[in-house]
Structure 1
């Protein structure tokens, strides 16, 4: 895992600019760096050595004739098979790094290369023969990719937005349309990021950039397909799941450095750790009352004969880390688990270079609570035909809110009307109450979700929810924090559940095998039970419990938030009286506003870091 930067439109200052951009992301690759400045294209790379630790694996890497050059962040897990195929076609290899497979693979297959890859990746190839750039991002969005087209047509691109700050043609400004959906969803959901003009290359997309015309063409090259395959029994699915997961873990453990595992004590990370059997697992909890669940991780590690290293996070550590976390995140993100993940990565990086973790299992195998019906909903669905429930669901949309309104809406099995993913912080009407008009301009959460629901009109309710989360929540929240928090400490995170072969299996599990009256994520839980004790295979999902609602009722942390909420520049975005009411009502016990407070706070911390502190630093440097 590494990081890259690049731009078109080179001049006599290009080497200095490229070096500054590379230095901005040195945390992604502290081992070595390299540059390629040819024909109006500049590519820069920072390397964290994982495979082939020698100089031979350095990037940018070029073809034998020097006409195809790549910068690549990630890992290709089927590189050995692809290499054998390319060697049979006559290509000579000079190192054992997976990067060289991409170079020769592009020479042999062109843009079709992306359809052959199994792995996590973001890359850019400079093709001098065709005077173009070709780039891609992996099918899940595990690795980040950002780009920005300057007013003169030149293109900036890289693994992190912050590297653009050091390019003279980058015009830094806040995207007015990003704040509204963020306040509901807690993550940056818009394709255009919080930095105006900076875009994310979406997962499973690739692009070509014509260096003659300065035009970019983007296309999707893969999409998940939740189509039930009813040809197998439940037990057959469980057997196959166990084989697929074990094989994926084996593929993800390949490295020339030490590999560890994150372990929370839940079924996902426990299953991965039990398959991997690393020397060490790493766990974090909070030094506050009952917010420490690391005992589960320690107990499982003991049963497996594995060393477990743990850390307890204090309230001061939590709040002290927020500015650094939002800087590394590049965009505001208010998932509370980002903080424990930050400290978890910091701790693990002291001993290992690579860790495996359990992200993605809930999206692929249907593990979220929102995917299940309550007992009352199940009873109602059994007694009332779907057609009647659909009619009732449509009717209540035209009536004022009443007790039972949400129940009838959900029982209609039309998630487009209510399901916006795993987080709903501010209701859209509440967003309108706190945002200033200039920033209350973007789409609301439901409007953003509608774009994805339109792509799967014939899927069942469960598959629609999973498809939405695969395309929004997973890359926008889960994988964003996974990459950025680990890379902040030069640690490579690998996620065996988010594997092409695992996906090809999981997407065809029948819906009633994924979720039913027995619970959710059933095939995976039963498969995990082949390796794990019952207590771990059946444990209910809890995530990273964080005691922030209690801390915000302590004067010290109330004052911390108040300083941001009452800052003069906060009034550019928010009705600060409304913000203070949220904070005061929570502090005095009249309401539970911790999620709204924290989501607003993280935006203000992000803004201060990039638009106030960054500018002050530039003035001092000048």
Structure 2
């Protein structure tokens, strides 16, 4: 029952009277794997920590669950704080503003930097944090040969905050990407194409950031809570707001194995602790009460409308109105990876090898290369822990 009283991101292991208890927070920002072979229970925050102990029976502890040697796997009731009911659009925006400001404020001790993509979410976090630390460092990344749109917006936001002198830009080269692919698979412990693209960008920025700080704030979580995934929530297959609500919850449910997974592995591999104010328990609880019609709003179906309204006066107009881009697309990683991987593997090879050993279909020819790297590093059974970003499943 104690886990229903805990707030924040955590995994833990408790040994009590000979019983082992493993637990993971309801969002699942931190990973935990376990398994039993030859009569021994083994567990680790990463799969690679189990390679010498578990070859086949590996499991990821789901968010909001406990595993005990006495009772096995079971969920626990998450901590749900009391938050106000939404009022008018204006009142709701002001309540959201207050809750997110409080979430940033309580995470500020020790924070010296922000991962700033130039998108709406990280820009909001940066704008709030600057009020509490006027000398923040801002970290951004772009492809050196052809900078993506994120760079221009990161520079714009830094100038708006008067922090252009503290903006650090990692210019990702072709050799960075090609050299990073095996390392990305190793740290991510997955061969999912979207996650690999995202972790390479995040890893390069994290490697730069560790020279300045070991604690940062990030903007992850806002898309899942406020209707940021346009291609999902505006899909013709989505029937109504009730269906959108279901998909939004699914996006939050699978975030631990997609967006949060690449975030966690990239930053923690470089010894940098990340804080996620959008995933604060009070922000999450209030966001779930906000009508979907205020998240994707009006005839133009403006994504994250209520979030934009809450912080419009703290942002440049261009960023307040900016549409979401995938991190790797905004940075510019995707196109370069297509070119580099096609030099290593024939795109036609996917026709003769369409699936993995355990039957997962490869999304693209790039994923075939990532899978081959995966098998060099992990037992084949570990591929079952690779999860697709697919809220429609």
Tell whether the structures are fold-level matches, with TM greater than 0.5.
yes
| 1:32 corresponds to | none
Alpha-carbon distance, 1:365 to partner: 1.2
Q: 1:219 aligns with which of 51, 55, 75?
A: 75
Alpha-carbon distance, 1:471 to partner: 1.2
| Counterpart secondary structure, 2:159 | helix
| 1:108 corresponds to | none
1:126 aligns with 2:46: no
Q: 1:151 aligns with which of 38, 53, 65?
A: 38
| 1:361 corresponds to | 222
Q: 2:150 aligns with which of 290, 293, 296?
A: 293
Alpha-carbon distance, 1:551 to partner: 5.4
1:492 aligns with 2:347: no
1:476 aligns with 2:253: no
- Whole-Å Cα distance in 2 between the matches of residues 341 and 149 of structure 1? 33
- Whole-Å Cα distance in 2 between the matches of residues 363 and 284 of structure 1? 23
Q: 1:311 aligns with which of 170, 175, 193?
A: 170
1:604 aligns with 2:340: no
Alpha-carbon distance, 1:342 to partner: 1.0
**Distance verdict in 2 for CA 1:564–1:345, change over 3 Å:** farther
| Counterpart secondary structure, 1:561 | coil
Instruction: Map 1:61-76 onto structure 2 (within 5 A).
Output: none
1:324 aligns with 2:178: no
1:362-405 deviations in Å (ceiling 9; x for gaps): 1111111135548xxxxxxxxxxxxxxxxxxxxxxxxxxxxxxx
| 2:107 corresponds to | 252
- Whole-Å Cα distance in 1 between the matches of residues 88 and 334 of structure 2? 44
**8 A Cα contact 1:244 1:502, kept in partner:** yes
| Counterpart secondary structure, 1:206 | strand
Alpha-carbon distance, 1:557 to partner: 4.2
Instruction: Map 1:523-542 onto structure 2 (within 5 A).
Output: 523-542=306-325
| 2:52 corresponds to | 166
Instruction: Map 1:603-622 onto structure 2 (within 5 A).
Output: 603-611=371-379
1:162-213 deviations in Å (ceiling 9; x for gaps): 111233xx2x2xxxxxxxxxxxxxxxxxxxxxxx311111111123223xxx
| Counterpart secondary structure, 2:277 | coil
Instruction: Map 1:145-294 onto structure 2 (within 5 A).
Output: 145-152=32-39, 154-167=40-53, 170=54, 172=55, 196-210=56-70, 216-222=72-78, 232-255=87-110, 258-277=111-130, 278=133, 279-291=136-148, 293-294=150-151
**8 A Cα contact 2:228 2:303, kept in partner:** yes
**8 A Cα contact 1:372 1:520, kept in partner:** no
Q: C-alpha root-mean-square deviation of aligned residues, in Å? A: 3.0
- Whole-Å Cα distance in 1 between the matches of residues 94 and 286 of structure 2? 12
**8 A Cα contact 2:9 2:29, kept in partner:** yes
| Counterpart secondary structure, 1:350 | coil
How many residues matched? Answer: 363
1:339 aligns with 2:197: no
Alpha-carbon distance, 1:224 to partner: 8.6
- Structure with the greater alpha carbon radius of gyration: 1
1:120-150 deviations in Å (ceiling 9; x for gaps): 100011113xx32222111111000111111
**8 A Cα contact 2:233 2:247, kept in partner:** no
1:302 aligns with 2:184: no
1:521-557 deviations in Å (ceiling 9; x for gaps): 111111121322222111111122135446545xx64
| 1:560 corresponds to | 344
- Whole-Å Cα distance in 2 between the matches of residues 159 and 233 of structure 1? 43
**Distance verdict in 2 for CA 1:574–1:563, change over 3 Å:** farther
**8 A Cα contact 2:113 2:215, kept in partner:** yes
Compute the TM-score of the two structures, normalised by the length of structure 2. 0.84
Alpha-carbon distance, 1:260 to partner: 0.8
| 2:390 corresponds to | none
Gaps of 5+ in 2: 381-393
| Counterpart secondary structure, 1:125 | strand
**Distance verdict in 2 for CA 1:530–1:266, change over 3 Å:** same
Alpha-carbon distance, 1:494 to partner: 1.1
**8 A Cα contact 1:283 1:310, kept in partner:** yes
**Distance verdict in 2 for CA 1:126–1:368, change over 3 Å:** same
| 1:51 corresponds to | none
